[in-house]
Amino acid sequence: MSSVETPPPIGASKRPARPIGLGADELAVVAAFAETMAPAGGPLPPAELEVPVSASLGELSARLGSGQLGVVRAGIRAFDRLPFPRRFRTLTPAERASFLARLSRSVMPHSRELLLLMKTLYAANYLRDERVRSAIGAEARCATDGPEPSAPLDLGSLEPRGAGEECDFAIVGSGAGGASAALVLADAGFDVLVLEAGDHYDRRSYPDDPLEASLGLYRESALTIAEGLPPIPVPVGRVVGGTTVINSGTCFRAPDSVLCDWRDRFGIAWATELDEGFEEAERILEVQRPASDRVGRNGALVAEGAAALGLEGAPLARNAGSCVQCSSCPQGCRLDAKRAMHVSYLPRAVAAGARIRKGVDVQRVLCRQGRARELDCLADGRPWQVEARHGVILAGGTLGTPEVLLRSGLGGGAVGRNLRLHPSSWVGARFDEPVRGWEGIMQSYGIEQWSDRGVMLEATFTPPAFGGQWLPGVGAEHQRRLAEFSHIAANGVQVRDDHSRGRVRLRRGGGVRISYRLRSPEVRRLAFGIARAAEIFFAAGAREVYPQISGSPILRPADGGWLESRRVRAHDLRVEAFHPMGTARIGVDEGTTVADPAGAVRGTDGLWVADASTFPTAPGVNPMVTIIALARRIALGIAERHA
């Protein structure tokens, strides 16, 4: 059994401790930027004078991992140098305002991305302040149209025991795939041990502060970025329950056309036989569509605009029962009305005999005679090992699963390749009437009119702390729009990436490095979707629309043709992605897939994959229910083999 290298005792090294967090010069840049973005005399409390943005970021930076801190530090330093030969932090207030105004109109991708980074850091730290949120009128609250959900079910002891534990099957990851597989195998009578790198939260402990939520619930403190032009944020969960804890709860079955493609092109014979798994998932998750009059004003405006244009749409099916207000989804559901894995599948698995351990970071899979038998782990930073008598199931997600495989030297050359993301873009609109999107369902109404083109629209209102950076403008102009956030509606454009793809590699010093190339077909799909979202908002009565296309003006009703006439390039777009998939895909072709159609990793007995990394292609819809059904099918095959 190989050992994990242990760090030297404290005090053993003579080297001085490396500084923790951002330095004084970097925080001075942040302070100067914040003062310019929220000056005194505006409609909201002034930054720095009343709201300590730089001090907030300084405290946050001291808790970031070295990789995330390095990205933030490098970005701030690069931004400071943009007014060369001057430094931004040395400019006068008037010079800063003039410089930011010019920068907001820049055609240089590098400059635009640095400005967006600074707006993101500023908005997250400014909008976490209760005085600012109170001035805007925003609140994070959940409500149901019926009785509140019962108290969270018992998950047993979550603390790792001793120097390690034994089990029949070790499952790495507690999200949609891991929880589904755990339930199947525990129900079949196997001794199941679920390992989660993150902590455990539920409605009794979710952080109220959005930044505390980012630190506690997300991988890399929600600073995971896919490198490329444009760089793409990819927020994923790192918590008991995985990304299901912080997603919007939208539930789709993979389209039949996608499943048929997986069967015919990738040799997954059972891909079109998932109905039983879909039905079980929808029953356990209590999936239902909200009534049209209960989605909130944000969703209603999208529905009204779509109806005026003769488009087909409907409220989105969700795993939140009778929930009618959910403005805290990215921070965990305040009521646990959203049936994430930690309040649905995992309690059932524990009741059937499974154990869950939090704070366990799996480093590598160890093999004996070609069979996966053990796991080298760190449990709260100390060496900890697992012996799995029958094998290991990797379900750490599209980023975590290839990370373990690459560290272990298993799975072959396809590991980490074929990354798909469902690139997405936020489209905002200002209405004369109050929208107060936080009073409705966060992701509420869908338009599938163009699904055959790989384009889907989902009315998604982003809480201010997570979406303030998308508002146009800088300085007083941005502050004015921020103050009017109650009049902002939002629609999300999501595209199926049939041609664009990326890769996950190990990063020197730990973690993974993600790269992604957004290709022309997906650029055209995003531009098409943004144009349609703008049309829908104008049809609903919007006064302004804010497309996330660099160089785009603030659109007004008479400007509808501007988007159609503009040639949009990849680096013009501001993109996010919430559905990473495909980095350990299954199929019959040994050269392009990591595992066979049963989920078994090639070249290693007793090792399987059961999460979104197995997807051969992007389904074009929110993938949670498909992950659950797919993992269930793989786990049933494992259980049958070991019966």
Residues annotated as part of the active site: 579
Q: How far apart are the first and last CA of the chain?
A: 28
- The interaxial angle of helices 53-61 and 66-80, nearest 10 deg, is 140
How many alpha carbons lie under 13 Å from residue 180 in its C-beta half-sphere? 31
Question: 100 Cβ partners below 8 Å, 6+ apart?
Answer: 33, 36, 37, 115, 474, 475
How many alpha carbons lie under 13 Å from residue 610 in its C-beta half-sphere? 34
DSSP conformation letters of 553-572: PPB-GGGTTHHHHS---GGG
Question: How many angstroms separate the CA atoms of 611 and 599, rounded?
Answer: 10
Q: From the DSSP assignment, how many helices (H) and strands (E) are in the chain? A: 18, 19
- The DSSP element (H or E) to which 364 belongs, if any, is strand 360-368
In a 10 Å sphere around its CB, with 0-12 CB exposed, 13-18 middle and 19+ buried, how is residue 313 labelled? buried
- Nearest Cα residue to 60 out of 179, 214, 194, 254: 214
DSSP conformation letters of 14-73: -SPPPPPS--HHHHHHHHHHHHHHS-TTSSSPPBTTTB-HHHHHHHHHTTS-HHHHHHHH
Question: How many angstroms separate the CA atoms of 51 and 460, rounded?
Answer: 28
